[in-house]
Amino acid sequence: MSVIVLDVEATSHHKEPRASVIDLGAVALTTKGRELGSFSTLIRPLAPLGEWSKYAMEVNRIPASDLTHAPAHGEVFERFLDWMGLYKPIEAVLAYNVSYDQRIVVKTWPLAEHLPWGPCVMRRASEIIQGNRVGVKLHEAARSFGVSLPPGTHHRAVYDARVASLIWSAMVDRGVWAA
């Protein structure tokens, strides 16, 4: 069995009608936390970028020019499912902020609703660190669990997925991950 930890960057909040995923990153792990492989791609936005997407694009720092020749959404989702197939059976698809990531992923690819979505890594980390379910930032959780940050760029999907996978692995190692 394996676990997939994913992260996405999007053009805007999932409630924005034109919002879509533009960066998808994922890490496949054994249920004991050993990394098996990773997936990363930029994705052409579903709608032309504009003022409505300005804030998100400033946060993720992905230049619009990098998205011009990126693959289309349908092609990416097929490739992602093929990649996931390498690690079957999959126990769960996790994300640091699963409530956001799941919503924007399903909005972009409605068939993603059928993925085996699991619990939120951020909520569990927050419960352990703060004693409540209020969101702890990714890097704060990494520091609290003694996770050394890998090389890469914060707010890029595969980097954030890898950090979330290391946090999840640390919780598994400590016996504090409960689905």
Mean pLDDT rounded to a whole number for the chain: 94
- Contact between residue 1 and residue 34 where contact means Cβ atoms under 8 Å apart: no
Instruction: Record the tokens describing residue 49, joined without a space.
Output: 């970028």
Strands (E), 31-132: 35-42, 90-95, 117-120
Q: How confident is the model at residue 5 (pLDDT cuts 50, 70, 90)?
A: very high
- 10 Å Cβ neighbour count for 55? 12
Q: What is the pTM of this model?
A: 0.94
What integer is the mean pLDDT of 58-67?
91
Instruction: Record the tokens describing residue 107, joined without a space.
Output: 């909005």
Instruction: Supply φ then ψ for residue 57, to 5 degrees.
Output: -70, -30
Domain 2-174 has CATH 3.30.1330.10: no
d(CA 124, CA 127): 5
Q: What is the pLDDT of residues 147-166, one digit of tens each?
A: 998 887 788 999 999 999 99
d(CA 103, CA 136): 19
- Contact between residue 97 and residue 135 where contact means Cβ atoms under 8 Å apart: yes
d(CA 140, CA 145): 9
